[in-house]
Amino acid sequence: MSKHIFITGGVVSGLGKGITAASPAYLLKSRGYTVAMQKFDPYLNVDPGTMSPYQHGEVYVTDDGTETDLDLGHYERFAGVSCDRNSNYTSGKIYSRVIAREREGAYLGATVQMIPHITDEIKSAIRSAAKPGVDIVISEIGGTAGDIESLPFLEAIRQFRNDIGFENAMFLHLTLVPYIKSVGEMKTKPSQQSVSILHSIGIFPDMLVCRTETPMEDEQRRKLSLFCNVPDAMVIEEQDVQHSIYEVPQELADRDMDAKVLQRLSLPLRERHLDDWHSLLERVLHPVRACRIAMVGKYAGLRDAYKSIFESFAHAGIALQTKVECDMLEAETLEGDCSALAGYDGILVPGGFGARGIAGKVAALRFAREQVLPCLGICLGMQCMVIEYARNVLALSDADSTEFSPQTKHPVIDLMPEQRGLSAKGGTMRLGTYPCRLKPDSLAVRLYGKEKISERHRHRYEFNNDYRKQLESCGLQVCGASPDDSLVEMVEIPNHPFYIGCQFHPEFQSRPFSPHPLFVGLVQAALKHQEK
């Protein structure tokens, strides 16, 4: 039987529950336990797939094609767990299932209510992660204690612990302990009130994890223990790290958080193995080189919109012991003048949807191509590479994507014939992991070191094969395609040091211990460009 850890948040949002959930997961795995992870989001959208990145950050995609919360990226990167459709549930998904069953008559005419029907569905979702062989399931509850949207989830986890027994589940509450500079004092009252909200609905936290800017003193720890009804030893300080989020697991290990969790769950205290993480931290904290990358996107006002890309650069930096400074540049600002790119060692053009900023992305790609600046295009970025090349090398001035210009005379990017006419946008999406075969002697195959790869996709429009021969005859090489050669997956310019685009999202498969080869390749090329 799997043990369960439920993580809630209090005082304010944005405390980093995802990293706080993923860090003990890694520590528990380092002690030989198998861990599964889940995120429950209280919003009414079925998934974040149709939400603006400004609302919710990036949409993370799992191998099975599930569009999920970005915290699942932390789970996969930190804890090394594999997430799937059972790893992310929203209120919208839960309610949809209950309503569908009610329409089918599955409730035999009963009045459908929040309790027990909604809470039972949530408990069923929790059990879906407790697969055979999983020792511990960590379930993060989104939102903040006191949010009306979160109440069904909190009620469900209260019931769930009663169902499986006290010794088989624990509640961990992440809270903020602010330091008020004007009075020079750390305040515990907000945390007390947050825990009081949980007490009022029958949840009594077993552990408090306290986010702080400054070190906690014994007085604050004793006060939190007393007023929150939590043993002193179970009040864990999580001070802001100085350099990298990859310091968090080590910080929590120094406070024996994982040992205390195992003790609470009556599990054996196996030996911890963190040598690999210590080595990784050494490379994070002591880079020997640095380079600057410009990311030309349309959501430059929010780093979380490109969270996995920033982390992928961090992973490449770890591998190369290089500090990668990645600046976000708003694509629209480059439409008339790309001189702002001149000081960079490389360019990345990320994915996205919609016409806004396309002219700036195309201009940046032309700059990278003509100025021989290392460049990586991802998803829409690759599509813009094709558009730019068709316009400025093939002289097809009207070349475009039918996403932006449905009546273009040269639709170098288009829906596949079988997709045209589908009214539901989701019906035309290519989501999840698909295989790709790389061309021998290409830059792509040299980067990957193999000809057969699999990558995660999230896109609707494809390279139009009607223009494939024309583009290749003028130097834009198709270096990766589906096994049957019907879908173009990667393009590159052979006589350019590093100019490569991919239809998929490599950032979703980059890990601290196995950085993605495309990001490593871009950083290596940027360092070489620096030497010129």
In the chain, domain spans: 3-280, 287-531
Cβ distance 154 to 8 under 8 Å?
yes
Parallel, antiparallel, or unpaired: how do β-strands 3-9 and 477-481 relate?
unpaired
Fold of 287-531: Rossmann fold (3.40.50)
Cβ distance 133 to 36 under 8 Å?
no
CA dist 350 and 362 (Å) reads 12
- Non-local (6+) Cβ contacts of 469 within 8 A are none
* Catalytic residue ranges: 379, 505, 507
Cβ distance 217 to 199 under 8 Å?
no
CA dist 520 and 513 (Å) reads 12
Task: State the amino acid at position 266 in one-letter form.
Answer: S
Tally the residues of the chain: 532
Residue with tokens 């979702």: 125
Three-state DSSP state, 104: coil
Task: Give ∠ CA 199-204-209 in degrees, rounded to 5.
Answer: 110
Closest CA to 516 of 383, 381, 378: 378
Closest CA to 380 of 309, 316, 437: 309
pLDDT string in tens for the chain (532-residue length) = 999 999 999 998 888 899 999 999 999 999 999 999 999 999 999 999 888 888 888 999 999 999 999 999 999 999 999 999 999 999 999 999 999 999 999 999 999 999 999 999 999 999 999 999 999 999 999 999 999 999 999 999 999 999 999 999 999 999 999 998 888 889 999 999 999 999 999 999 999 999 999 999 999 999 999 999 999 999 999 999 888 999 999 999 999 999 999 999 999 999 999 999 999 999 999 999 999 999 999 998 889 999 999 999 999 999 999 999 999 999 999 998 999 999 999 999 999 888 899 999 999 999 999 999 999 999 999 999 999 999 999 999 999 999 999 999 999 999 976 665 554 444 578 999 999 999 999 999 999 999 999 999 999 999 999 999 999 999 999 999 999 999 999 999 999 999 999 999 999 999 999 999 999 999 999 999 998 7
- Non-local (6+) Cβ contacts of 70 within 8 A are 18, 56, 57, 58, 59, 60, 304, 307, 308
Residue with tokens 């997709």: 419
Cβ distance 53 to 305 under 8 Å?
yes
pLDDT value at residue 420: 59
CA dist 214 and 337 (Å) reads 44
- The single-letter DSSP state of residue 439 is P
Give the tokens for residue 251: 């910080």
Q: Rounded to two decimals, what is the model's pTM?
A: 0.94
CA dist 63 and 83 (Å) reads 8
CATH placement of domain 3-280: 3.40.50.300
pLDDT value at residue 424: 44
Q: In CATH terms, are 3-280 and 287-531 the same topology?
A: yes
